[in-house]
Amino acid sequence: MNPLKQLEQCGQSPWLDFVRRSLIRKGELKTLIDRDGLKGVTSNPSIFEKAIGGSDEYLDDLNRFQRQGQHTPGELYEHLAINDIQAGADVLRTVYDATEGRDGYISLEVSPDLANDTKQTVDEARRLWRIVGRDNLMVKVPGTEAGAPAIRTLIGEGLNINVTLLFGIEAYEKVVEAYIAGLEELAKSGGDLSRSASVASFFVSRIDSLLDKKIDAAVAKGADKSKLDPLRNKIAIANAKLAYERYEGLFSGARWEALAAKGARTQRLLWASTSTKNPSLPDTLYVETLIGRDTVNTMPPATMDAFRDHGKIVPDAVQSNLDEAHEQIATLEKNGVSLDEITTELVIDGVKQFSDAFEKLMGAVSKRREDAKPAA
């Protein structure tokens, strides 16, 4: 049986971390749903930059839109992206209906430049929600200090939110608190909690990539190489397992049960950045080790293809060897490498990467605007 389809039997939903117009128009997205049990789609500025800047499939649309008047690169991007998001949401609607709103979502990100501004993030999320006009949209909001209160407000208004750029347990706990508090506000206003959905996107492979550099630096300063070397390519998975352990604790107890009784559903952990950056690692490492109930794994196309081809199903893998995961992180800290410092650095760098990608996206749209201009 197709390993991707088997994930559903383990309680995990496979999502695709990729979007472009041809994927939707040529029926490839529907094929992924039918063949692989695909349950959702995520996007980001980098994905749109590659789609718009790396193909000619948007030129006709750009040309038509420009005939309606002068538009900034930002307006052109939004026109193209929202068309794709709406079309993708319509294809995924069958999944949304079949799962009663648990899956079937497509994500669109607020501008990364707003990551540290709560009010502007809220205003932008509301605007995107209104313009896209699809029940199965998830607006992506970063899990920064400014993002947490925005998440609370938006969940309280009934928007579906994909919280992005989560690396550390402490930040994750704040996001869950924002989600639960938002649901409580939604309940007070008479909202339907059963139609509210959110995922917490916990980034994985980037931790191991940065950790290698931190271990090298620590060893150069005299840290015990024999203790630190065995932790390479282990901490990202250990950290994710600890996040899942917290998930189980946070979504239990009287406060949560009161919301669940009104139809509320947990904010699932979504494993993001699950492609392996180190070519010496198995290409399905961050899928096989993080299979778990009530989770999502969003995979880029190459990782999804690899898992379909030779992925191994390990039910509840994310709950295995928890003691070892705790021990690995403790050993890391004892030997001079701080996981908190790593995750803090990754959040800052992640915001910058997405901002840089957004700027590059604007450049790609500007170039495409010139390419699309009709000859005089």
Q: Which residue has the tokens 């992206």?
A: 81
Q: From CA 336, how far away is CA 332, in angstroms rounded?
A: 7
Q: Please list the residues that pair with 115 across neighbouring strands.
A: none
146: Cβ–Cβ under 8 A, 6 or more apart, which residues? Answer: 115, 116, 117, 118, 121
- Residue 140 designated active-site: yes
30: Cβ–Cβ under 8 A, 6 or more apart, which residues? Answer: 91
| Inter-CA distances, 274 with 284, 286, 303, Å | 8, 5, 8
Identified catalytic residue from 39, 119, 140, 352 = 140
Q: Which residue has the tokens 């630096």?
A: 217
The packing angle between helices 205-220 and 235-250, to 10°, is: 130
Which phi and psi (to 5°) does residue 19 adopt? -155, 145
Query: Which residues have a catalytic role annotated?
Result: 140
